[in-house]
Every structure is written in C-alpha cells, then in structure tokens.
Amino acid sequence: MPISLPTLQIDLRPGIIELGWGHPPLELLPVAAMRRATAEALTRYGAEALTYGHAAGPGRLIEWLCEYIARQEGVAPAPDELLITGGNSHTLDQILTLCTEPGDTVLVESPTYHLAVRILREHPVHLVGIPMDQDGLIVDALSETLAHLRRQGIRPRLLYTIPTHHNPTGVSLSLERRRALVELGAETGLLIVEDDVYRELSYDGPAPPSLWRLAPPGVVVRMGSFSKSLAPGLRLGWLTGGRNLVQRMAHGGLLDSGGGINHFTALVVAELCASGDFDEQVARVRTIYGVRRDALLAALREQLPPGCSWYSPGGGFFVWLTVPESVRCVDLLPLAERVGVSFLPGEHFFLDGGGEEQLRLSFSLYPPEELVSAATILGAVVRNCSRKR
C-alpha cells in the first residue's frame, strides 16, 4: 500500500471554521498568471533558469523591485541595497545568524508573531519583550528598556518589529512613533528588523511609510515578501537595508554554496511582475480581503456580548479580540471548536505570559457568510462561558 503523505501545511478540519490560520484561500492564488509567467521565463532564459543563480537574485527582479518600491514609497533602494530572499522567516533566521552571537540580547515587541518567536528561540539569544498599545510599539518603553540594559552593561543587538498591520493585533505604528523609533535606533546603534509582510494588504488607503523609508541608511533592515500578496508557496521575498549588511548576506556562505535563493521561482515572479499581473493580483486580493474584514467586524459588533473589545485593522489578516476578564481563551477554545469555530488563544503571542483574555481571528480564508456564522457561534460561546463564571 502506498503511504499517503500530506501536501499542504494547513489542516482544515471538517465542520470547523478555522479562524486560527493566516492563510490565503486556494481560489485566490494566481494559477493562470503563474502558468503564463513560467512559460515566459523558460522561453526567455531556457536552461539558465534551471542552473545556479546570481547570489543577490536575478537582475530583472531586483530592477523591478527597486522601481516598485520607488512607486510605493517615493524612494528606491540602490540595487546593491536589495537582496532576493526565501521569504521573511528565512530572512529573519539569516539576520540572526549573521548579526547575533550566543548570549546576545534581542528585543521583541509583545505580543508578536508567534512563529517568529520560534525562530528567535532557536538561536542562543536572550529575548526581552517591549509592550504595545493601540498605537503600536511603545517607544518610550523601548527607550527605558535600553537605558536599563545599558546600566547592566548590556547592548541589545537588534529589535524585531511588525509596524504595519501587525500580527496578531492588526495595529499600525503611528507616524510619530515611527519617527521616534528610527531616531532612537540611530542614536543607540540598535538594528531595527522590520517585518513588512502585510504592506500590500492595506484596505483603507496607502500603508504608512516603512521604517526603512524614514530611517538613515543602515538603521533598518526591512523584510518584504510575496507570500501574502502573491502566493506563499513561492517562498520568495526581498530585503532592503544598509549596503554593508546586504552585501554581507549576499556574499555569505549560504548563497556562495547554493547561489541565489529560489532562482527559478525568482525569474518566474520577475516575468509575472513585469507583465502587470502582480499589480492586478494585489488589487484583486486587497478588495476581497477588505470585504471579508468588514464582514467579520460587522458580525462581531452584532454578535459579541458586552465586555468584548477589538481593534479594527487597516490591513493584514487579523482581528485581535479581548473577551471579558472572567473568560480564559484557552478554556474557551475547546468549547468553540465543539460547536464549529477555532481561533488562536492570545497566550501564543507573548514571550513570558499574558494574553489570557485575548485571541486572534483570521478573516483571510473564508467568504463573508462563513465569517458571519463564525462570529455568531463565537458570540454565543463567549456569552455562555461568561454566565457560567
């Protein structure tokens, strides 16, 4: 008997609306555009598409990205300040490998993307959380933490942050705090690692300027990705940062050994972007995800009992929900799954405790009618759980 092995990361259970997964639905992935771009790449490059690629990535994609970033933010990186990567998870791991040593201190906003914390914990560094509020990372708290550590003789290596359409909270760092953050980074020599994966998914107007855009050269290394805007299976992204760090990564052992990351995929994506299909795909998914966000928010307003609160995200995939203090989300989860809804409890997103009355809901996977059903079920479960306490 042949063994049936899984194909996908995601596991959708029958009868459950899975709001814990921040994934795109299969029907939104650009199969036809990828097929056209693949044929064009093979026609244009032939066997060159299938051999080892230039370490920094193919010139055609780097040129397109420099032009695209200039369109989006009004300033372009130089070609040697941009590197093609395997996506943000791969990039974060590489930055940690090259920029930290065992025992170093790394700062992380809290709450934060739980799987980034897994990557951080796989390195022998000490993690220190920096609190957030409705305006994003609290820069004054960061400044106080830096001063406290400095008095102990500790100089943190870097800060990991998601300032735009944050995962899990959905908040975006205010412009005032963005400017204060990059100024603090420049003053203290703190490298700011900006996870900018949701920039293309802004539903209420253009995304705020990136930290990379606002900072002096070398203060911020910004990670961008095609995972949310195009397709996560590509495992393809890019990095913009100071020339010294970018070139150090481009000439490091990983790329010296294997050549450019995902060379064939990068050439295909370069053709897709040059054709205009990328802009069309972003416009399409931005509209659809915006409708889904609005449907979930409207249903939450209608269905959740008093004592619940949430933030209305301007982009991304997530709504961060706070339930009444009498309810613990880890206890709520099995009750919700029993009647057909799943989510991620907030405790997953904190370094050292917290989030017991919070949970993350993703609206990306399901059409509006199913999101309304999920909010209705969740509201009933929260209400019943509150009464029992």
- CATH code: domain 17-29+279-388 is 3.90.1150.10
Q: Which of 301, 358, 367 is nearest to 170 (CA)?
A: 358
H helices of the chain, where?
31-45, 59-73, 88-99, 114-121, 139-151, 175-188, 211-214, 243-250, 253-258, 263-274, 277-303, 329-338, 368-388
Angle between helices 31-45 and 263-274 (to 10 degrees): 110
| Closest listed residue to residue 174, CA positions, set 314, 270, 292, 307 | 314
Report pLDDT for 107: 98
Helix (H, G, I), strand (E, B) or coil at 14: coil
* pLDDT at residue 165, rounded to an integer: 98
pLDDT digit string (tens) for 55-73? 999 999 999 999 999 999 9
Which tokens in the block code for residue 63? 């040129």
CA angle 214, 317, 201 (to 5 degrees): 45
For residue 275, the number of C-alpha atoms closer than 13 Å in the C-beta half-sphere is 20
Q: Which two tokens stand for residue 12?
A: 């959708």
- Three-state SS at 308: coil
Q: How many angstroms separate the CA atoms of 25 and 44, rounded?
A: 31
**Contact partners, residue 94, CB within 8 Å, separation at least 6:** 85, 249, 252, 254
pLDDT for res 387: 63
Unique residue bearing structure tokens 């855009």? 213
Contact 360, 341 (CB under 8 A): no
Where exactly are the structural domains of the chain?
Answer: 17-29+279-388, 31-275
Query: Would the CATH topology of 17-29+279-388 be identical to that of 31-275?
Result: no
Residues of the chain scoring pLDDT < 70: 1-3, 387-389
Q: Comparing C-alpha atoms, which of 234, 233, 207 is closest to residue 222?
A: 207
Residue-wise pLDDT tens digits, 166-183: 999 999 999 999 999 999
pLDDT at 3: 67
> How much is the pLDDT for 315?
98
What is residue 17's predicted lDDT score, i.e. its pLDDT? 98
DSSP 3-state assignment of 85? Answer: strand
Fold of 31-275: Aspartate Aminotransferase; domain 2 (3.40.640)
